[in-house]
Amino acid sequence: MFDHGIFQRILGLELSDYLFADTFSAINKGNVAEQFTGTEILKYHDPQSRQDLLYWQREKTGSSAEVDYILQKGRSVIPVEVKSGMQGKMQSLRLFLHEKHIKSGIRVSLENFSRYDDISVYPLYAISELLRQPAMAP
């Protein structure tokens, strides 16, 4: 279901109250942000190309890592890390950039538009803007 409002009503949830509340720390808050991001990616991808939801996972003893979404547009590969708040170290994203020799990545969170060195930050509400970028290069 691609309409989050209808989906929330069917489930009897007011997820926006939880996502933006400073005092709320639910165990599934990150999962809700990831689901929202994935759905938005599917909704706003280029209709001329098929966009599957892909992720990266590294399982190495003592050093597991995961990047929530891997997007492709043309020859560009863009790793996307989703954070449900305004903090996070982005260690997995940085590891992916290093191991795969990729110049930049994207963090989706409750933060406003910003940049940390090689990582561009997009607010959750602006995922459609991320996908409208000409080459999706941050």
Q: CA–CA separation, 38 vs 54, rounded Å? A: 10
Residue 75 pLDDT exceeds 70? yes
Among residues 33, 37, 27, 115, the alpha carbon closest in space to that of 69 is found at 37
Residue 82 clears pLDDT 70, i.e. is over it: yes
At residue 27, the pLDDT reads 47
Q: Where are the domains of the chain?
A: 29-132
Strands (E), 15-138: 56-58, 65-67, 69-73, 76-82, 105-109, 114-116, 119-123
pLDDT at residue number 43:
82
For the chain, percent of residues with pLDDT exceeding 90: 28
pTM: 0.76
Write the pLDDT tens digit of every residue in 99-129: 999 999 999 998 899 998 899 999 988 988 8
Classify domain 29-132 by CATH architecture.
Answer: 3-Layer(aba) Sandwich (3.40)
* Euclidean distance between CA atoms 53 and 19, whole angstroms: 22
Give the strand pairing for 56-58 and 65-67.
antiparallel
Nearest to 108 by CA among 130, 133, 132, 136: 130
pLDDT for residue 18: 61
